[in-house]
Structure 1
Amino acid sequence: MSINIREKLVEAVKKSGFEIPAEFDLLQPENEKFGDFSTNVAMLISAKENKSAKEIAEKIVKNISAKEIEKVEVAGTGFINFYLSKKHYLSGLSEILSAGVDFGKSNIGKDKKAIVEFISANPTGPLHIGNARGGPIGDVIANVLSWQGFQVEKEFYVNDSGNQINHFGETLLWWYLKKKEGNLPFPENGYSGDFCKNSSEEIQKEQKTEIIKLSDGKLTEFFVRFGLEKTIRKIKEDIELLGINFDRFVYESDFLSSGKSLEIVESLKKGDHTAQREGALWFIADELDPNDRESVLLRSDNDKTPTYFANDIAYHKDKFDRGADLLVDIWGANHHGHITRMKSALSALGFNAEKLKILLYQTVRLKTAGKVSQMGKRLGNFVNISDLILKMKVPVDVFKFMIISQNPNSILDFDLELAKEKSEKNPVYYLQYAYARICSVLRKADINLVSELEKIAEGKGRVEVSEVENLAEKSEINLIKALLEFPEVINKIASDFQIQSLPHFATLVAREFHNFYANCEILTSDKKLMRSRLLLILATRNVLKITLTLMGISAPEKM
């Protein structure tokens, strides 16, 4: 809704002879006396023009004209406050109902392909609540882009090569050799905890006859192969438990075996983007630190093995080669330095690096009984996502919501007690209860009337403003206002990937609905008013269902 007001405001500023400030606020004031929207645009112009902000605001206001605006006022030292008409909101309600289950959809991404890569946890252990954080984040972004018309593919990149895999294999092997050599020191950079121990035990039991046949030099490779199979299978089970579906699992080792990584290196060499130093081949670019060892493309070993960086460049090139117009990567915060390197490498290969969007997320700490604990695979103290859901009884919906409701760039303290709470203190319960309450009201209403109105809510009919003009209560209008914010919320997420806006929006809608429910009798004896209020809750149900679906959260009809 504010998009339309913003357009009218920009038009009025231009008509008044002023330049549009690069950034200006158009916000919904907490206090209703300051209108439905308020802007500081005149103050920003004043600073540049060296004129009175109030005079500038008054000039702008004279050039604002729109049927949805009831009045515009200049307040204080130059704020411009907009008051929208009741008819505007009722018209908006009609539009929501006409759109049905497609409300808020757009064609911004029509004929464009987006590849969203997320989770991509190293296959050295199961998913824990830290690296699983990328799951709900990536899934929501993929869903929102799809809602915007993009053809979306979701991918998990399996880092099944490199030093961490060798350390993983050495750890599995250590548990085997320890039975023979009791004082064998634990491998440097090995993985602590029960997962590797249990995996090694299973491999020893399942592959007993094969292990005996192997020479010592082949044992690490053997444990790597079977350890990876087990871990990747477990990761896939954990992902399925979260209700997340990937279109493709892409393996780092495939880029090595196919020669695509070496092809990338050769292309960069031909473009004069490499330098030979310390026996290794480095990627060079003006914007990179020449001593950044993460920029190495080929190691200094005898085989000149491509690095993770080289393989990852090959993977990103592959995405572009498959016709992607937009690449979205969801990475852990420890990959921050990789952003500039990757974008520089893609630019060096002739790709538009601006098409690569990267979102970082911070770590997750488990909060129990008021105490917070740090986790990690190396520490061996991580909480497996399957344990959280199956043993600690945290609902999947709650895990997802608590993840996406926080800014990904902030450390998340996952409150176990709150996650298991079954009351309105739990934000997911609060949302789902609003949806279930609507469904309950509809079940109690006259079946024939509901059947008629359901067709309208499916977009198979249209409601005229005159049919719902009896919706005049403050709580009714506030609920409609909240619903109308949905398209803008979706557009913004597709642009800046700040997914926490979606659960915040859903919470706002639930709050306004609960307030409306408490103040307005829906199944009233006034038949016309009952019809209007049923239409309002049908619109609310549709928007809540869409929002919950985009968040990957269920919408129960009974609770």
Structure 2
Amino acid sequence: MNLFTDIRTLVIDSLAAMTAEGTLPEGLDFANVTVEPPRDAAHGDMATNAAMVLAKPARMKPREIADALAAKLVADARISSAEVAGPGFLNLRLEVSVWQTVLGHVLQTGDVFGRSDLGQGKKVNVEYVSANPTGPLHVGHTRGAVFGDALASLLDFAGFEVTREYYINDGGAQVDVLARSAYLRYLEAHGQSVEFPDGTYPGEYLKDVGAALKAAYGDTFVDQPEEVWLEEVRNFATEQMMELIREDLALLGVKMDVFYSEKSLYGTGKIEAALESLDSKGLIYQGVLEPPKGKKPEDWEPRVQTLFKSTEHGDDVDRPVKKSDGGWTYFAPDIAYHYDKVSRGFDMLIDIFGADHGGYVKRMKAAVSALSDGAVPLDVKLCQLVKLFKDGQEFKMSKRAGTFVTLRDVVDAVGADVTRFMLLTRKNDQGFDFDLDKALEQSKDNPVFYVQYANARINSTLRKAAAEGVPTDDATLAAADLTQLAHTAQLAVARKIAEWPRQVEIAARSNEPHRIAFYLFDLASDLHALYHLGKTEKSLRFVNESSESATHANLALARAVSIVISAGLGILGVTPAQEM
């Protein structure tokens, strides 16, 4: 039940009737007609822009359309009033019974309420984290992991078929550096004194890998030349790092459906096949790129390269896919990887990158557009940097990691639920200062506490009521006399609950799970406001000692809030608090 969709359908049907009657001309497009909450709640429950968007194509005055539409709408039993405002906006007020009906529907459907068929089962691949397998996940990866996982859950809730995927960057030079670094720890495990040259990874986390190498290979590789041990150590260390990464992700409750290895693209013909696909469309050629804009580097010289004509698909410049020496560029395997995604039949692709990948967006979109002939959209979401603060100071690096704050550091400091919720209280493309002390503060200024406290407060009330013999099961509460919920504060909560399906669809359409966190905070605020009013107005108390029927109605409202909060927290990957 999406009340906003239902009322929009009423508006569209009314416009169609006006067309049939000759009030409106034939052939008008109603696609841009919306029904939304008004900017000022004092203006009504909903507002439609129908008259404003249809006036010009209808060659009529907006107010003329609005007046006629208002007359149609008030004939519906759900509409209390339809008032024309300004040049032609139409503000609607709904009968109180509509909001009461929504509450009954929530209790009857439970956590299904708000789920949508928006996605219509379309297959979506969400690729996120995809950190180099060279060390533990850091706080930047943490934000990407939380954002990607919440987005995947949101899309699932909205009716998409979602695959969560991690792209293992195990095909580049960085894994050779990992192998050399792990080898030094292996020698150290054999009692040798080692030094880490510039460019290697000195983090203590590799001590475990060195010890594991010793246990697996003994002294086989001690003092052997690199060509003897490099491949074996590289594969061993990569798998050890991926196991560490999987453990890190598990700390956040993140579980991937697919781990895809970049290395599997090399020597298998997959890169060649992807480029052949582009070549067959006339998009691969031999050419020389222009020098970089601005000051030309001293070592720049024109070189003939194999180029992808990405400018034909929205990029700023064409991109090299093969170097002049015949080696692949970094872009080539990425093209092949996305070609594989397209070949797997996904209807939509979403890539979640770190802030430093901004320059990569256009070329990747161009590649997917070319590979799929424009049939598969790619949305790239960039996660901006996170700064951690504790005791008023920027949080120091992890000694074990060597150079950065790890995911484990953050989870150990505040817990997985708090980490996830807090990182979703900002849009992904905004920088975020994460105050670890504030995240644990028990106040309205801490959004995760405020939302969790609302749910815990409701469940505590339900437990106490049940202990006193009051039936609190959803079936009983759904059958309560909800007409008793007519106070302004009660209706404010009901109206906010009714917005839930709409908020889910808006967030899913824009791939913005932070909207769910914002909505939950607003719903919790309305619930807390109602609770505090009950201290002075006894009729608003969840348990009304003088009226059993009022108690059932009040508990029904509270339980509906809990159902929605639990569903929203589930999307965010946060466990709803039962008590605090």
Q: CA deviation at 1:488?
A: 0.9
Partners of 1:476 and 1:30 in 2: how far apart?
20
Unaligned runs of 5+ in 2: 288-302, 534-539
* One-letter amino acid of the structure 2 residue matched with residue 338 of structure 1: Y
Task: Report the alpha carbon displacement of residue 471 of structure 1 after superposing the two structures with TM.
Answer: 1.0
The structural deviation recorded for 1:479 is 0.9
Asked whether the 8 Å contact 1:506–1:544 carries over to 2, the reply is yes
DSSP-derived class of the 1:509 partner: helix
What is the distance in 2 between the residues matched to 1:456 and 1:352?
A: 52
User: SS of the counterpart of 2:352?
Assistant: strand
Q: Which residue of 2 aligns with 1:327?
A: 349
Q: How does 1:233-272 map to 2 (within 5 A)?
A: 233-272=243-282
1:396 maps to 416
**Are the equivalent residues in 2 in contact too, given 1:344–1:353 (CA < 8 A)?**
no
Do 1:35 and 1:83's aligned partners in 2 also have CA atoms closer than 8 Å? Answer: yes
| 1:123 match: secondary structure | coil
Amino acid at match of 2:6: N
Task: Tell me by how many angstroms 1:292 deviates.
Answer: 5.3
Aligned residue in 1 for 2:171: 161
Residues 36-185 of structure 1 aligned to structure 2 (within 5 Å):
36-39=45-48, 42-43=51-52, 53-65=62-74, 66-169=76-179
Amino-acid identity (%): 31
Aligned partner of 2:24 in structure 1 is 17
Unaligned runs of 5+ in 1: none
Cα displacement (A) at 1:6: 3.3
Cα distance between partner residues in 1 of 2:571 and 2:262: 30
Q: TM-score, normalised by structure 1?
A: 0.86
1:34 partnered with 2:43: yes
Name which of 186, 190, 194 aligns with 2:198.
Answer: 186
1:286 is aligned to: 311
Of 438, 441, 446, which aligns to 1:426? 446
Q: Does 1:535 align with 2:556?
A: yes
SS of 2:484's equivalent? coil
**Structure-2 separation of matches of 1:503 and 1:512:** 15
C-alpha contact 1:365 1:374 (8 A) present in aligned 2: no
Partners of 2:351 and 2:316 lie apart in 1 by: 26
| Pairwise CA distance, 1:256 | 1.4
Cα separation, partners in 2 of 1:473 and 1:137, compared to 1, 3 Å = same
Asked whether the 8 Å contact 1:10–1:20 carries over to 2, the reply is no
Deviations 1:68-107 (A, max 9, x none): 2100112345432211110111111121122122112233
Quote the residue 2:290 is aligned against.
none
Q: 2:292: which partner in 1? A: none
**Residue 546 of structure 1: which of 567, 570, 574 is its match?**
567
Q: Secondary structure at 2:266's aligned position in 1?
A: helix
Please tell me whether residue 348 in structure 1 is matched to residue 350 in structure 2.
no
| Partner SS state of residue 139, structure 2 | coil
Q: Residue 459 of structure 2 corresponds to which residue in structure 1?
A: 439
Q: Distance in 2 between matches of 1:418 and 1:75?
A: 43
Task: Answer yes or no: is the 8 Å Cα contact 2:179–2:234 preserved in 1.
Answer: yes
Asked if 1:455 corresponds to 2:475, the answer is yes
Question: What is the distance in 2 between the residues matched to 1:281 and 1:173?
Answer: 36
Assess if the C-alpha contact under 8 Å between 1:137 and 1:499 holds in 2. Answer: yes
CA distance 1:279–1:367, shift in 2 (3 Å): same
Deviations 1:341-364 (A, max 9, x none): 233333433454443333222222
Aligned residue pairs, count = 544
State whether structure 2 residue 478 is matched by structure 1 residue 471. Answer: no
**Whole-Å separation in 1 of the counterparts to 2:40 and 2:461:** 31
> What's the C-alpha RMSD, in Å, of the aligned pairs?
3.5
Contact 1:313–1:342 (Cα < 8 Å) also in 2: yes
SS at match of 2:494: helix
Residues 29 and 343 (structure 1), Cα distance of their counterparts in 2 relative to 1, 3 Å cut: closer
**In the alignment, structure 1 residue 509 sits paired with structure 2 residue 523:** yes
User: Residue 299 of structure 1 aligns to which amino acid in structure 2?
Assistant: K
What are the superposed Cα offsets for residues 449-489 of structure 1, whole Å, 9 maximum, x if unpaired? 655633356xxxx648xx21111111111111111111111
In the alignment, is the contact (CA less than 8 A) between 2:24 and 2:58 conserved in 1? Answer: no
Instruction: In structure 2, give the amino acid aligned to 1:341.
Output: R
Corresponding residue SS for 1:287: helix
| 2:254 is the counterpart of 1:231 | no
> Deviation of residue 258 (structure 1)?
2.7
- Residues 12 and 61 of structure 1 are in contact (CA less than 8 Å); yes or no, is this contact kept in structure 2? no
Q: Distance in 2 between matches of 1:290 and 1:376?
A: 39
TM-score, normalised via structure 2 length? 0.83
Distance 1:174 1:47 in 2: 74
Q: 2:338 matched to 1:316?
A: yes
Confirm whether residue 296 of structure 1 aligns to residue 296 of structure 2. Answer: no
Contact 1:405 1:499 in 2 (8 A): no
Residue in 1 that maps onto 2:299:
none
Check whether the contact 1:368–1:416 (CA below 8 A) recurs between aligned residues. yes
Cα displacement (A) at 1:239: 0.2
CA contact (8 A) 1:365 1:375 kept: no
* Cα shift at 1:315: 2.2
- Checking the alignment, whether the CA contact within 8 Å between 1:9 and 1:64 is kept in structure 2 is yes
In the alignment, which residue of structure 2 is the partner of 1:273?
283
- Matches of 2:506 and 2:72, distance apart in 1: 28
Task: Kindly report which structure 2 residues correspond to 1:357-376, keeping only aligned pairs within 5 A, or say none.
Answer: 357-370=379-392
Q: 1:376 to 1:269 in 2, by over 3 A?
A: farther
CA distance in 2, matches of 1:373, 1:552: 25
Provide the C-alpha distance between the structure 2 equivalents of 1:382 and 1:314, rounded to a whole number of angstroms: 32
Q: How do 1:378-397 and structure 2 match up within 5 A?
A: 381-390=403-412, 393-397=413-417
Give 1:546's aligned amino acid: A
Once the two structures are overlaid, the 10-residue window that deviates more, 281-290 or 316-325, is 281-290
Bigger drift between 309-318 and 479-488 goes to 309-318
1:237 shift after superposition: 0.9
Give, in angstroms, the shift of residue 134 of structure 1. Answer: 1.4
Q: Output the CA distance in 2 between the equivalents of 1:230 and 1:80.
A: 62
In structure 2, what residue type is equivalent to 1:527?
E
- The SS at the match of 2:285 is strand
Report the CA distance between 1:510 and its aligned residue. Answer: 1.1
